[in-house]
Amino acid sequence: MSDFVMIHGAWHGGWCWYRVQAALERAGHRVDAPDLASLGRDRTPPETVSLALWADQIAARIAERPEPVILVGHSLGGAVLSEVAERVPERIRTLVYVAAYLLEDGRSVREEAALDEDSRIGAAMVISADRRTASLRTDGLREILYGECSDEDFALARSLLVPQPLAPFATPIRVSATRFGRVPRCYVECARDRTIGLRAQRRMQAATPCARRLTLESDHSPFLSQPMALAGVLADL
């Protein structure tokens, strides 16, 4: 039995893992899928949110777990994973990046995303008047994020998305070889991803190698489009 903590990506909340969480719990694992501050059902004011706040939030949460965890992150959640590993490497068994930003020290999600010629998410973003958050247009949203999801899952996801604080996108991560670098890493790439293209996923893996690479033939949201396959990959770890 393993202890999983699952970190969602931008605009989402812990709700996005509900099918993967249920599958892992049926297999006897413990699973925690929190909302990052200001996302999901959390009502922290977005102007107060930072990457450091999220990392501190999750580091404190896993410090309360009974044993070191398998820390899983999707998309923007990958930057949170790396920062948490820098803070509490002794509390993490494995880092699992699921179509996620695996950044080098000193790089930000915004910088990495700018290099991704296959991504279509930028065109869907609508920046708020105060430039503190971004929302997503509904036109083309399914194709970009949920291309292989059912109509029901797409409707559910669309109804639960909330504005995304922008500050974490622009914040360079700070990680070291002696702390973050000592935690084993695994990357689960999504081959038909239109949010973080496969070439970008592999470029990040080349820059920061992982012990294992697994590939899902899926869109950017395998927690909805292929939950059993993703749960199986995680259980095998």
Q: Give me the amino acid identity at 97.
A: Y
Mean pLDDT of 145-174: 97
Mean pLDDT of 51-59: 98
Is 38 within 8 Å of 30 (Cβ atoms)? no
Mean pLDDT of 206-228: 98
pLDDT at residue 60, as a whole number = 98
The per-residue pLDDT for range 178-193, each reduced to its tens digit, is 999 999 999 999 999 9
Mean pLDDT of 81-95: 98
Cα-to-chain-centroid distance, residue 16? 11
Cα-to-chain-centroid distance, residue 172? 16
Residue 85: exposure state from Cβ atoms within 10 A (0-12, 13-18, ≥19): buried
The per-residue pLDDT for range 225-236, each reduced to its tens digit, is 999 999 999 999
DSSP 119: -
- The rounded mean pLDDT for the chain is 97
pLDDT at residue 228, as a whole number = 98
Between the alpha carbon of residue 164 and those of residues 11, 147, 236, the distances in Å are: 5, 21, 32
SS3 84: helix
Query: Any idea which residue has 């995680």 for tokens?
Result: 234
Q: How confident is the model at residue 237 (pLDDT cuts 50, 70, 90)?
A: confident
pLDDT at residue 170, as a whole number = 97
Answer whether residue 214 shows pLDDT above 90.
Answer: yes
The per-residue pLDDT for range 14-40, each reduced to its tens digit, is 999 999 999 999 999 999 999 999 999
Cα 82–Cα 13–Cα 108 angle in degrees, nearest 5: 35
Alpha helices in the chain, H assignment, sequence order: 18-26, 51-63, 77-87, 109-114, 141-145, 151-160, 167-170, 198-207, 222-225, 227-236
Residue 214: exposure state from Cβ atoms within 10 A (0-12, 13-18, ≥19): middle
Is 12 within 8 Å of 4 (Cβ atoms)? no
Could you give the percent of the chain with pLDDT greater than 90? 99
Domains and CATH numbers, the chain: 3-236 (3.40.50.1820)
pLDDT at residue 164, as a whole number = 98
Q: Please count the other Cβ atoms lying within 10 Å of the Cβ belonging to residue 228.
A: 11
Is 190 within 8 Å of 99 (Cβ atoms)? yes
Whole-number Å distance between alpha carbons of 216 and 194: 14
